[in-house]
Structure 1
Amino acid sequence: MGLVFSRLRGGAHRNGDGRASSTFDPDEKWSNLYREREKNNLYKWVGVRTGGELITVYEKDGEEGVLLFAQEKFEPMMYSEGRSPQLIKFIDYVRWKKTVNTVFGITEEEEFNEATSKFREHEAQWRLNKRGVEGETLVHLLLNREEPLCSEIARILIHKYPGLSKDIYLGDEMFGQSSLHLAIVHDDYDTVQLLLEKGAVVNARASGDFFLPEQEHENDSKGMDYQGYAYYGEYPLAFAACFENKDIYDLLIQYGANPDLQDMFGNTCLHMCVINYSNSMYSYAVRHWHKPAKTNIVNFAGYTPLTLATKLGRKQIFEEMLELMKVVSN
C-alpha cells in the first residue's frame, strides 16, 4: 500500500469525545496546516513525500552522520534527551490538543471527557510540543515514505532511541497510529521485528477518523457494511490479517497479540478478514498453531464472522468457513 494520506471527513471537526462540530471551517484548517508545516523543522528534516536534510545526511555520511545529526537536532526534542520515554496522561493530551486547536483556528471550546475519549495513557519519547501537525514524530514521517532508505534511517534511530517505538499519532485523523501500524501496512518485516524488540505496544489502536468505516456515524449498526478508506480493525494484528502478511501475523502473535480482541465496533481479526475479503488469512487465523482465533465472537451489531459473511454477501469466504468448520470438527 502506498503513502497513507490524511483526509477531512465531510469537513467536520470532531470534539475530544468524538462528536462533530459544525462551526469549523476546513478551508481555514488547510491554510493553517500549510503554514505550520512550513514553520516546523520536522518537515525540513524529512519531507512528507520527498527530500529532507536527514535524507541528504544519510546519503552523504551514512549511519554515523544520522546519529550525529540526531544528537544535535533530535535529542532536545525528546523526553530525557532520548534516554527514556515519559508517561503521557490525559491532561498532557488536552494541553496539546488545545494548542493545536488554536493553531488551526478552531475557536469553539472543545469538550474533553476522559471517560469517552479514545486517548489512553501511554509512554512517548518525542515531546508532544515538538511534533508535526498530525501529532506525528520524525520516525512516523520516515516510515510513511515507504522507501527502503527512509526505513533504514528509521531503524537507525529506533536502535539508538528505543523509546521512539512507542510513539503514536495524536491528531484526530490518524489518532493512535503507531510506527508498528505503518511498518505492517508497508509489509516491512524487518522494521516490525525491530519495533517489537524495542518495546512497541503490540496492541496499540489506530482509531482516528481516517481508520473508521464511512457509515460509523449512523445509528443503525445492523445496517453497517464496514467499508472505509482504511478500516483495518485498529489493532496491529488485525492490520496484518487485512494485508494478508502471515509472517508478520506470526511475529505479532509471538509478542502477545490476541486475535480475539475487539475494536470499537466489536470486530475481531476474523470479522476483519470477512470485511476485507482476506479469505486465506481467515483459515490461517482459525487454524493457527499457537493462538487460534475464536469463530464464535459476536460483534456489537450482533454478528459472528459467519453471519457477517452472510450479511455482507461474501459467498466465497462463507463457503470456505463451512468447509473449515467440517475440518476443525473432525
Structure 2
Amino acid sequence: MNLTRYFNIIVPAIAVLLGLICGAVIMLITGYDPVAGYAALWNGIFGETYYIGETIRQLTPYILAGLAVAFAFRTGLFNIGVEGQLIVGWFAAVWVGVAFELPKIIHLPLAILAAALAGALWGFIPGLLKARFKVHEVIVTIMMNYIALYLTNHLIQYVLSDKGDKSETIFASASLSSPLFQELTDYSRMHYGIFLALIGALVMWFLLEKTTKGYELRSVGFNQNAAQYAGMNVSRNIILSMVISGAFAGIAGAMEGLGTFQYVSVKNGFTGVGFDGIAVALLGGNTAIGIIFAAALFGGLKVGALNMPSEAGVPYELVEIVIALIILFVASSYFIRWILLRFKKEGK
C-alpha cells in the first residue's frame, strides 16, 4: 500500500486518537473516570434526537467557517479574519431580517446575500492591501476582527435598537428555522442552514478543482512569480480569493443570525466560531469533504461536552483540552508523517 497517498486521512485520524488518549490520561490524573466521561460525551451527541439536532446545528457554521479558512489557504493566503467576517455577516443578515417583511422566497435569500456581501467586503479590504501594498493579510485580518466586533456593537445599540443590547427578532420570512426538523429532533435548533453549508462545500470543491479560475487561484497561491510569468493577474486573484473566503464566513454568520439565534446582540467578546474554523480547516486538510467531517467532530465535541458535567461529573473544560490537543497533534503532522514513514521503511 502506498502510505503517502493516505496521509491526509491517516494523520488527522491519528491526531484525533492521540487527543482522546491524552484527554483520558488527564481525566485519570485529575481523578475522573475517562470511560464514564467519554460515555457521557457520546450520549450527549447521539443519546437523544435533540442532541443529534443540536450537533447538526453546531456543525453548520463550522463547515462554512472552515471553508472560509481553507479557501484562502488553498490560494496561498492565511485568513485569520474569519471571525470578524462572520460577525459582520451575522449583523447584515439580521439587519435585513428585521428591516422589512417580504415573501420568504425573496426575503431569506436576500438576507443571506447581505451576509455574504458583508463578509466579502470585510475580506476585500485585507485582500486589496495585500495585493497593492504587500501588507501581510494576517496582521490586517486580526485587526479587522476587532473593528468588526466594536463597529457592530455600536450599530446594534444605535441602529437596530434604542441603546439596547440586542435587536428585535427577525421576521419569520427571513428565518432558517424548520418546524419539520424541530418535530423530528424534539425541538432542537437544527435548521435548513445545514443544506447551505453542504452546498458551500460543493461550491468550493467545484470552483477550485473543476474550473479554470480555480486553477488560476491555486497557481497564484503556489507560486506568485510563476503565475505572473504565465500571464495571470496576481493582484486581482489575491483580492478575489479574500472576497470569496469572506463571503463563506459571512454566510456562516447568517447561519447564526437567521437560524440559531434569529437576532443579533452586543458581544463582550468574539463568538469563537471563526477561530474554530481554523482548526476545522486544519483537521480537514483544507479539503471540502475533510472539512465536513472535521466540523462534525468539533460540533459533536462541543455539544456532547455539555452532557459530561451532569452525567459523569467531568468538567466541560476537559473537552476544550481534548480539542486543543487534537489541534496540537494536527499541527505536529510533520512529526506524525515522519514516524509513519519510519515504520514503513522498517517494515520492508
- Could you tell me the TM-score, scaled by structure 1's length? 0.26
Point out the structure with the larger helix share.
2
